[in-house]
Amino acid sequence: MRYRSQDQLDLFHARASVVTPRDAQDLMSWPFFSLAKSRRVTPIDFRMGEVSIRVEATVEHGMATIWDADILIWAASQIVDARDNGLRTSRLMAATPYEILAFIGRGDSAHSYHRLKAALDRLQSTTVATSIRQPAERRRHRFSWINEWKERMDASGRPLGIELILPDWFYAGVLDDALILTIDREYFGLRGGLERWLYRLVRKHGGRQTYGWSFDLRHLHLKSGGLSPFKRFTFELREIVRRQPLPGYWLALTIDPDGRSRLTFQPNPPEPNTAQRTPRARTTRAVK
């Protein structure tokens, strides 16, 4: 594939209209982001079957977080919406800070704008090497979540807008209908990194299957890419199950016939009079 330089890329202006949130399935399935609000510099080094992912951060900025990934959700949503409306899209995107912040459910204060710039810095400085969507065995694609970005300002220093360039790996996945899913706008209101990651995983694997899905907790812990010990991870999962914060899904912890703990989930929470019913996924009894 021949890549075009920045000067050859057409500038795609984000649309201010209401756009349906859409997420990239590759980003929903695998550990690409830090789940912690504190700075992480320890790499993610994940291998499962033929999938390998290596995420590295700089000491200056730290690793891109799952909250920073909201900007990529915004970008994916804009690209898909524009394409579906017959508009030309591009990896070179322009928008105002307000347009991005409003889409991801954040305020337009100076503090929010500074946080947005910090998120863009982390996305640009975090590097990823992965085998996902690489046709040749042992081949890896290396990129940053944002190739580069810049802000435009008026003579008085007021921000006029932001321009950014997305990597080919991400852009190609967004343009593939099979690799994009709509997500609930309430996702942006989820506060915890683990529950945000869990919603994306559940939305990807559970979809709208009537009887839901389930995961072994050890498998989930590995797939999260987090640094917390398994015991802490399990404790946090129990709290999420107790609170039921994921929009559109009902969660339960269960034990399978082999004595292994599992997280089960299904769409559409039960009615209040059946709130204690265990989802019909590969399970036998609930964890107390």
- Does 255 reside within a domain? yes
The last residue of one of the domains, among 130, 155, 185, is: 185
- Same-domain pairing of 213 and 145: no
Partners of residue 13 on adjacent β-strands: 94
- Does 1 reside within a domain? no
The last residue of one of the domains, among 185, 213, 243, is: 185
pLDDT tens digits, one per residue of 116-174? 999 999 999 999 999 998 876 567 899 999 999 999 888 887 778 999 999 999 999 99
Terminal C-alpha separation, the chain: 54
**Domain hosting residue 274, numbered range:** 192-286
- Does 201 reside within a domain? yes
Partners of residue 45 on adjacent β-strands: 54
Residue 278's pLDDT is: 42
- Same-domain pairing of 153 and 200: no
Residue 3's pLDDT is: 40
- Same-domain pairing of 176 and 281: no
- Same-domain pairing of 36 and 137: yes
Residue 138's pLDDT is: 64
- Same-domain pairing of 149 and 19: yes
Residue 178's pLDDT is: 84
- Same-domain pairing of 145 and 211: no
Tokens 């990194």, residue located: 193
- Same-domain pairing of 108 and 240: no
Residue 155's pLDDT is: 83
Q: What is the CATH number of the domain that holds 250?
A: 1.10.10
- Does 166 reside within a domain? yes
| Nearest-angstrom CA–CA distance, 252 and 212 | 11
Contact, 3 vs 167, CB < 8 A? Answer: no
Look at the chain and report how many structural domains it folds into: 2
Residue 160's pLDDT is: 80
- Same-domain pairing of 176 and 34: yes
The last residue of one of the domains, among 145, 162, 185, is: 185
Residue 268's pLDDT is: 67
Eight-class DSSP state of 18: -
Strands 11-13, 92-95: pairing kind: parallel
- Same-domain pairing of 32 and 104: yes
| Nearest-angstrom CA–CA distance, 30 and 66 | 12
- Same-domain pairing of 50 and 176: yes
- Same-domain pairing of 27 and 109: yes
- Same-domain pairing of 179 and 202: no
Low-confidence ranges of the chain (pLDDT < 50): 1-7, 273-288
- Does 225 reside within a domain? yes
Reduced to 3 states (helix: H, G, I; strand: E, B; else coil), residue 137 is coil
